Amino acid sequence: MNTLFAIKKATHQHWTASGKRIPVTVLFLQDNVVVSKTDDKTIIGFSKKKLSRSSKPQLGMLKKSNIAYGVRTIREVTGTLEKQAGDMIVPSDVFSVGDIVKVTGTSKGLGFAGVVKRHGFAGGPKTHGQSDRERAPGSIGNRTTPGRVFRNKRMAGRGGNKTVTVENLQVVALNNDTKELWVKGVVPGAISNTVTITKVSDGKFEGLFERSAKQPVIEIVGETIVAETPIAEVSTQEAPKEEVKATEPKEKKKEKAE
């Protein structure tokens, strides 16, 4: 199995041992539970809710798996794990540090947007007699033949709020206790949105978070991070600052030379 569900928790920056800054997105893998499984597929339940708010078909599935609470989302994924129905799934069951993953989510909605904001049009000239057409799309039609506007013409309309997939993200840290997964890069959607994490390949992690004398923030032990400071405080860490030596004014240097 190579897929789990998570909530986008936070986006911040972090510095490596050598002082390189990287973007980090924190994903919270909340309550992924095995609802049922077959030889080659697994049905996963994600996020808890009241049992009374579940539909009758869901109640039958949950009762069969001895799950005493409702789940908000039920999805079928390819592959299986060495877990039985009703067992909770932790991040290290599917992912490990260094894996290459893709994250799918719903992008932020922009409401009704013009062509400049929605499609990146440059707009018209600001001079030569026009004063109110800077952000207009321009001509959209054709000649007498075909005498119509083609379908899928880029025009103003509702922007965002679409399913977006970001590929080639790398897992830089994970924690089974807090059920958090850190990926290098940004993922689509707003904070608290649900995203789908899919493992693409096993990658080699080159120690971006290795311990160093300059910034002893995090050390990775096996597949679990051990933080000297809580994860919530890691985001506030500043980049190591180099000491700047004060230089003497040129006049004083001349006096010393005389």
Q: Which residue has the higher pLDDT, 24 or 218?
A: 24
**Residue, of 221 and 239, whose pLDDT is higher:** 239
Q: In sequence order, what are the residues at sequence separation of 6 or more whose Cβ sits closer than 8 angstroms to the Cβ of residue 216?
A: 228
The reply to whether the predicted model has a pTM over 0.75 is no
- Least trusted range by pLDDT, from 31-35, 55-59, 254-258: 254-258
Rounded distance between C-alpha atoms, residue 247 and residue 254, angstroms: 14
* Strand-pair category, 3-15 with 194-201: antiparallel
Please tell me which residue, 239 or 134, carries the higher pLDDT value: 134
Q: What is the pLDDT of residues 164-220, one digit of tens each?
A: 999 999 998 888 888 999 999 999 999 999 999 999 987 665 544 443 333 333 444
Bridge partners of residue 50, in order along the sequence:
none
Domain boundaries, the chain: 110-160
Q: What is the mean pLDDT of the chain?
A: 80
Question: Read out DSSP for 43-109?
Answer: EEEEEEE-GGGS-HHHHHHHHHTT--SEEEEEEEEES--S--TT-EE-GGGT--TT-EEEEEEEPPE
Percent of the chain surpassing pLDDT 70: 78
- For residue 105, the cross-strand partners are 164
How far is the C-alpha of 253 from the C-alpha of 251, rounded, in Å?
A: 5
| Per-residue pLDDT at 66 exceeds 50 | yes
Express each pLDDT in 95-129 by its tens digit: 988 889 999 999 999 999 999 999 999 988 888 88
